[in-house]
Amino acid sequence: MMRIAKTRFRLGRVRSGILAVLVLCLLASVSPLAYAVVASAGPTTTLSSYYAGATDVTYEFGTFAMEAGETLFMIEFTFTGDANVTAATLLEPAGTLSVSGQTVSIAVSPTLPPSTEFVVRIGGVTNPTTPGDYPLNGPYTRISFSYKNAKLQTKTDSILIAHYTITEAPFLTMTIPTADIDFGTVEPDAAVPYGPGTIQVDVTSNYGYTLTRETTGDVASLGLVITGDAAGSKNAGTSSYYDAVTILPDWNTPAGVPLVATVTYTAAIP
pLDDT at 136 over 90: no
What pLDDT score does 113 carry?
76
Residues 149 and 216 in one domain: no
Is residue 137 predicted with pLDDT exceeding 80?
no
Kindly give the residue spans of alpha helices, DSSP state H, lying in the chain.
Answer: 2-29, 219-222
| Residues 145, 201 within the same domain | no
SS3 state at 268: strand
Rg (CA), the chain: 36
Kindly state whether residues 252 and 201 are assigned to the same domain: yes
For residue range 215-265, list pLDDT tens digits in order: 999 999 999 999 999 999 999 999 999 999 999 988 887 778 888 999 999
42 three-state secondary structure: strand
pLDDT number for residue 92? 95
**Which three-class secondary structure state does DSSP give residue 221?**
helix
76 and 140 part of one domain: yes
248 and 181 in one domain?
yes
CATH of the domain at 250: 2.60.40.1090
Residue 209 resides in a domain: yes
Same domain, 150 and 187: no
Domain extent for 263: 172-268
Among 131, 148, 166, identify where a domain stops.
Answer: 166
Res. 187: pLDDT tops 60: yes
- Please give the tally of structural domains in the chain: 2
pLDDT band per the 50, 70, 90 thresholds, residue 179: confident
Final residue before a domain boundary, out of 166, 191, 218 = 166
Structural domain ending residue among the three candidates 166, 186, 204? 166
Say if residue 32's pLDDT is above 80: no
Say whether both 81 and 121 belong to one domain.
Answer: yes
pLDDT band at 166 (very low <50, low <70, confident <90, very high): very high
Torsions phi, psi for 154 (to 5 deg): -85, 125
pLDDT of the residue at 34: 45
pLDDT at residue 51, as a whole number: 95
Flag whether pLDDT at 8 surpasses 60.
no
* Same domain? 198 vs 240: yes
**Residue 21 domain-assigned?**
no
User: Which residues are bridge partners to 132 per DSSP?
Assistant: 166
146 with 200, same domain: the answer is: no
- Assign 138 a pLDDT band (cuts: 50, 70, 90): low
**Is 22 within the bounds of a domain?**
no
Whether residue 12 is contained in a domain is answered as no
CB 206 within 8 A of CB 225: no
Confidence of residue 89 (pLDDT cuts 50, 70, 90): very high
Which of the four pLDDT bands, split at 50, 70 and 90, describes residue 209?
Answer: very high
Give the CATH number for residue 158: 2.60.40.1170
Contact 88, 23 (CB under 8 A): no
The pLDDT mean for the chain works out to 82
